């Protein structure tokens, strides 16, 4: 671990999210220093990380390497920003590799946001290694990580009793980057939607993790968890600039999860992501004492918010108790190294 106040960061994975987090690390140069970058893509290896991120970024003096062990061993990062894939199966070894290099890990892997139910063995292994090395491993992002778990949990913080929590997130995918429009199936047929759905990895990843985190935070013993995925159809033509969608074609997804106790729907997460939505918003309704009716008007803009959560979790993870952690274990999230801080430092 470095002893100066600037955190040494390695970026592990330079897809769209990793490029955005690396860009933000470079922008917050008073608080963080990008000391390494890892990606297995042969088109990226060897190039300066800034060159991959964008034309507007000055050279960073950090070459992308496909040899993760070498980068971790030579650069001694305080924290690894890990953004490779969504699924635990593919990343557990990578997370262990980072922890063994004595680095905290903040990861965008959706299944890591609350891994205990889906992958108890991997969770035990990650927790054991993290504790042995004295580091924190945590998965975060806007969803899972905030909008449908940390935020509704925080909304219940004022309640003397809670009977049910309902979370609703509507994302107008027209305002989002093209990969998200592709991810929700904008412009495909209903038949193609059903085929993708049958494939098993379509839909939003992490909805169950949010439900589990919320239930765990409240200490609620769910006796059933149900998930449902349906297409939202366009009822008028939509042109997003990236994609054109005709009436009757798929505009996106309606993905929901319900947690039941004694048959009653105590936790409901309802997510609609589709092009041509009138409005984006996030809403949390708590049936409790007092009742809570919370709304983010205009929604939480996910492309930026995912990056915000990852980068803002860096200093919180670096100070937390070692082990495998979730956002429910860390101090309340807050923006890190914003411009008013950096301007005051000069």
Instruction: Decide: 139 and 111 in contact? Cβ < 8 Å.
Output: yes
Q: Does 318 bind a second copy (CB under 8 A)?
A: no
Q: Does 206 bind a second copy (CB under 8 A)?
A: no
Token pair recorded at residue 58:
């000055």
Q: Does 263 bind a second copy (CB under 8 A)?
A: no
Per-residue interface string for the shown chain with a second copy, residues 39-58, x marking contact by CB under 8 A: --------------------
Please give the size of the binding site for a second copy, defined by CB under 8 A. Answer: 61
Closer of 246 and 338 to a second copy (Cβ): 338
Q: Does 293 bind a second copy (CB under 8 A)?
A: yes
Strand blocks (E) in 76-223:
79-82, 104-107, 136-139, 161-172
Does residue 94 sit in helix, strand or coil? Answer: helix
Q: Which of residues 149-188 bind a second copy (CB under 8 A)?
A: 150-151, 153-154, 156-163
Does residue 40 sit in helix, strand or coil? Answer: coil
Token pair recorded at residue 25:
């690390």
Closer of 116 and 301 to a second copy (Cβ): 301
Tokens 């059933």 belong to residue: 224
116: phi > 0 → left, psi -120 to 50 → alpha, else beta; which?
Answer: alpha
Token pair recorded at residue 56:
């507007």
Q: Does 330 bind a second copy (CB under 8 A)?
A: yes
Q: Does 116 bind a second copy (CB under 8 A)?
A: no
Closer of 4 and 334 to a second copy (Cβ): 334
Tokens 């609350």 belong to residue: 114
Tokens 């070459």 belong to residue: 63
> Shortest CA distance to 260 belongs to which of 169, 170, 165?
165
> Shortest CA distance to 19 belongs to which of 331, 306, 234?
306
Binds a second copy by CB under 8 A, chosen from 142, 167, 238, 273: 142
Q: Does 87 bind a second copy (CB under 8 A)?
A: no
Closer of 199 and 219 to a second copy (Cβ): 219
Q: Does 300 bind a second copy (CB under 8 A)?
A: yes
In the complex, least distance from residue 238 CB atom to a second copy, rounded to whole angstroms: 22
In the complex, least distance from residue 166 CB atom to a second copy, rounded to whole angstroms: 14
- Among 42-50, 229-237, 242-250, 258-266, which window interacts with a second copy (CB under 8 A)? 258-266
Binds a second copy by CB under 8 A, chosen from 64, 305, 317, 324: 305
In the complex, least distance from residue 229 CB atom to a second copy, rounded to whole angstroms: 25
> Shortest CA distance to 163 belongs to which of 269, 266, 260, 284?
266
Q: Does 328 bind a second copy (CB under 8 A)?
A: yes
- Among 85-93, 101-109, 243-251, 285-293, which window interacts with a second copy (CB under 8 A)? 285-293
- Among 94-102, 104-112, 180-188, 320-328, which window interacts with a second copy (CB under 8 A)? 320-328
Q: Does 296 bind a second copy (CB under 8 A)?
A: yes
In the complex, least distance from residue 172 CB atom to a second copy, rounded to whole angstroms: 13
Instruction: Decide: 334 and 311 in contact? Cβ < 8 Å.
Output: no
CA distance 118 to 304: 28
Q: Does 265 bind a second copy (CB under 8 A)?
A: no
Phi and psi at 220, nearest 5°, equal -90, 125
CA distance 232 to 254: 6
Token pair recorded at residue 176:
């989002």
Q: If residue 292 lies in a helix (H) or strand (E), which one and from where to where?
A: strand 292-297
Q: Does 336 bind a second copy (CB under 8 A)?
A: yes
Q: Does 331 bind a second copy (CB under 8 A)?
A: yes
Measured torsion, CA atoms of residues 244, 246, 249, 251, in degrees rounded to the nearest 10: 50
Name the residues that contact a second copy, by CB under 8 A: 24, 142, 146, 150-151, 153-154, 156-163, 217-221, 261-262, 266, 288-298, 300-301, 304-305, 307-309, 311-312, 321, 327-341, 343-344
């Amino acid at each position: 671990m470095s002893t100066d106040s600037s955190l040494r960061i390695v970026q592990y994975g330079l897809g769209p999210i990793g490029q955005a987090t690396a860009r933000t690390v470079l922008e917050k140069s008073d608080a963080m220093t990008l000391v390494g970058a890892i990606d297995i893509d042969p088109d990226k290896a060897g190039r300066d990380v800034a060159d991959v991120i964008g034309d507007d970024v000055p050279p960073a003096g950090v070459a992308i390497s496909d040899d993760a062990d070498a980068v971790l061993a030579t650069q001694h990062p305080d924290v690894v920003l890990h953004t490779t894939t969504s699924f635990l199966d593919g990343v557990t070894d990578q997370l262990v590799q980072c922890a063994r290099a004595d680095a905290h890990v903040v990861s965008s892997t959706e299944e890591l946001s609350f891994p205990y139910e889906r992958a108890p063995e991997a969770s035990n292994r990650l927790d054991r290694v993290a504790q042995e090395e004295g580091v924190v491993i945590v998965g975060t992002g806007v969803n899972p990580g905030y909008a449908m778990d940390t935020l509704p949990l925080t909304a219940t913080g004022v309640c003397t009793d809670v009977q049910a929590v309902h979370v609703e997130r509507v994302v107008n995918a027209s305002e989002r980057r093209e990969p998200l429009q592709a991810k929700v199936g904008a412009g495909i047929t209903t038949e193609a939607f059903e085929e993708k759905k049958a494939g098993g990895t379509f839909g939003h990843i992490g909805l169950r993790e949010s439900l589990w985190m919320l239930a765990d935070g409240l200490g609620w013993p769910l006796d059933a968890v149900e998930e449902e995925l349906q297409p939202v159809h366009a009822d008028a033509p939509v042109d997003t600039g990236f994609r054109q969608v005709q009436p009757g074609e798929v505009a996106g997804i309606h993905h929901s999860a319900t947690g039941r106790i004694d048959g009653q729907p105590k936790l409901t997460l309802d997510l609609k992501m589709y092009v041509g939505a009138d409005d984006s918003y996030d809403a949390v309704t708590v049936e409790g004492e007092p009742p809570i009716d919370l709304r983010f008007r205009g929604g939480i803009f996910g492309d930026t918010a995912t990056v915000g959560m990852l980068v803002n979790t860096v200093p919180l993870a670096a100070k937390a108790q070692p082990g495998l952690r979730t956002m429910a274990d860390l101090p309340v999230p807050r923006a890190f190294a914003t411009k008013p801080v950096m301007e005051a430092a000069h």
